[in-house]
Amino acid sequence: MSKIKLGIIGGGQLGSMLSIAAKKLDIQTIIYCDDVNAPAQNFSDEFIFGEYDDKNKIQEFVGKVDVITYEFENIPYETLNEMNKSKTVLPKPSVNRLIQHRLAEKDFVNKLNIRTTRYVEIEKKSEIETLGDFLPGILKTTTMGYDGKGQYPVKRIDDLDTLNIDFSKGFILEKLVKLKKEISVIITRFGNYSYEIYEPIENSHENQILKHSKIPAAVSKKIFDQSVGWATQISEELKYIGTLCVEFFIDRNENLYVNEIAPRVHNSGHLTINAYNVSQFENHVRAVCGLKKIPLKKLSNAKMINLIGKQIEPYRKNLKLGKNEFFFDYLKKEIKDKRKMGHITKLL
Ligand code: AIR
């Protein structure tokens, strides 16, 4: 039988880890990315460089693959929809369209009677002046943000004067919760009520970028069950195929809130590579390629540390790893402040 050819849109670290997982399953990967230096080309079978609206390049890509997935969410809906006319795109383009728009995403979650932070749509600066009730809050672009990009903490209305925000883009203002802890739940759905779910992961951020993730998360049974239940409900409702991550806040009164949904494999799940029998990446490839679902088994507790910006340098110069420690260099050519450059997983 000829090998399945999986097309992956996006060529960052998530594309790399998907390609590595696919190789193990004897599936070929073709990466399509608008960055000529996309690091995933080091791990994929083929790489096509092109813009996300370049119809010719996209046709070339579509012609080569059997099924298509993506490793970041900010892809134009039209692009995914066009591809989906000739080859199956999973998760479905409509799921990506819903989730990439923060307002639509939160409305969807609330309709399921699942709690989110309080939020309001902002079309112009003056509206915020009457919304003191939502402060301290965080102003976020409705689309196109990740790793703290497009996010502005606002304590007082005066803060807006120094922030220099372009209000021609859509925004939402979210009220901050009195945060105790952040967790995420990663689930891979294969079909109706057919899924594998990883236990909740505890996350901590620095400068709005994920820094540490660990399992087990120190949470009550109530929070454990509720987070797993909500992630399952969200993936069922979306009729999702593949790996999905739901990020949650827990406040000081032990209330759980959905922060956001990622329609893809997720940074907090990197530890699943070493801590489980099947990683989030392998599960994603299995689900979108229609392979068999394997029952998940946790092999070890674990902690993952992100290496951001220059933090990668000492590891590149002189790698010293302890027993049960794993290092992954994303092979990004340019070190930039706040850029995820690699990670370390320690089995505990
Ligand atoms: N990514 C996708 N959504 C959020 C994140 N962090 C991953 C994807 C994407 C890469 O980050 O793998 O391709 C982009 O990283 P950078 O450093 O080039 O911005």
- Last-in-domain residue among 89, 108, 135: 89
Q: Are residues 317 and 214 in the same domain?
A: yes
Q: Are residues 158 and 185 in the same domain?
A: no
**Residues with Cβ within 6 A of ligand 1?**
10, 12-15, 71-72, 146-147, 267, 332, 339-340
pLDDT digits (tens, 9 = 90+) for 12-63: 999 999 999 999 999 999 999 999 999 999 999 999 999 999 999 999 999 9
Nearest-atom index, ligand 1, CA of 74: 3
pLDDT digits (tens, 9 = 90+) for 48-58: 999 999 999 99
- Residue 14 Cα to ligand 1 midpoint, Å, equals 7
Q: Are residues 184 and 333 in the same domain?
A: yes
State the CATH number of the domain containing residue 169.
3.30.1490.20
User: Best mutation site among 52, 72, 243 for ligand 1, i.e. most ligand atoms within 8 A of its Cβ?
Assistant: 72
Nearest-atom index, ligand 1, CA of 10: 13
Q: Which domain holds residue 299?
A: 179-347
Q: Which residue has the higher pLDDT, 38 or 170?
A: 38
User: What is the side-by-side order of every strand in the sheet holding 5-9?
Assistant: 46-49, 28-33, 5-9, 67-70, 88-89
- Last-in-domain residue among 126, 145, 175: 175
pLDDT at 1 over 70: no
pLDDT digits (tens, 9 = 90+) for 117-156: 999 999 888 888 888 889 999 999 998 877 777 888 888 8
User: Best mutation site among 17, 44, 71, 211 for ligand 1, i.e. most ligand atoms within 8 A of its Cβ?
Assistant: 71
In a domain, 260, yes or no: yes
Q: Residue 7: is it exposed, middle or buried by C-beta count within 10 angstroms (0-12/13-18/19+)?
A: buried
Output the residue whose Cα is nearest ligand 1's atom 8: 12
In a domain, 212, yes or no: yes
Q: Are residues 308 and 339 in the same domain?
A: yes
Q: Are residues 160 and 235 in the same domain?
A: no
- Residue 12 Cα to ligand 1 midpoint, Å, equals 5
In a domain, 298, yes or no: yes
State the CATH number of the domain containing residue 339.
3.30.470.20
Q: What is the pLDDT of residue 143?
A: 87
Output the residue whose Cα is nearest ligand 1's atom 10: 12
Nearest to 17, CA basis, from 4, 31, 3, 5: 31
- Residue 50 Cα to ligand 1 midpoint, Å, equals 17
Q: What is the pLDDT of residue 124?
A: 84
Q: Are residues 195 and 343 in the same domain?
A: yes
In a domain, 97, yes or no: no
In a domain, 16, yes or no: yes
Q: Are residues 61 and 130 in the same domain?
A: no
Q: How far apart are CA 77 and CA 220, in angstroms?
A: 39
User: Best mutation site among 8, 143, 146 for ligand 1, i.e. most ligand atoms within 8 A of its Cβ?
Assistant: 146
Nearest to 253, CA basis, from 297, 218, 223: 223
Q: How far apart are CA 92 and CA 249, in angstroms?
A: 27
- Taking CA 141 as the corner, what is the angle to CA 92 and CA 261, rounded to the nearest 5 degrees? 40
Q: Are residues 203 and 342 in the same domain?
A: yes
| Start-to-end CA span in the chain (Å) | 41
Amino acid identity of residue 305, one-letter, is I
pLDDT digits (tens, 9 = 90+) for 228-248: 999 999 999 999 999 999 999
In a domain, 57, yes or no: yes
- DSSP-H helix ranges across the chain: 13-24, 55-64, 77-86, 93-99, 102-111, 125-128, 159-163, 221-238, 272-275, 280-288, 313-317
Nearest-atom index, ligand 1, CA of 336: 17
Q: What is the pLDDT of residue 102?
A: 94
Cβ atoms 52, 34 nearer than 8 A: yes
Output the residue whose Cα is nearest ligand 1's atom 18: 12
Nearest-atom index, ligand 1, CA of 339: 17
pLDDT digits (tens, 9 = 90+) for 271-311: 999 999 999 999 999 999 999 999 999 999 999 999 999 99
Q: Are residues 131 and 171 in the same domain?
A: yes
Q: Are residues 204 and 309 in the same domain?
A: yes
In a domain, 85, yes or no: yes
Q: Are residues 137 and 198 in the same domain?
A: no
Number of domains making up the chain: 3
- Residue 13 Cα to ligand 1 midpoint, Å, equals 7
pLDDT at 159 over 90: no
Amino acid identity of residue 330, one-letter, is Y
In a domain, 110, yes or no: no
Amino acid identity of residue 169, one-letter, is K
- Last-in-domain residue among 71, 89, 107: 89
Output the residue whose Cα is nearest ligand 1's atom 11: 12
State the CATH number of the domain containing residue 56.
3.40.50.20
Q: Are residues 163 and 184 in the same domain?
A: no
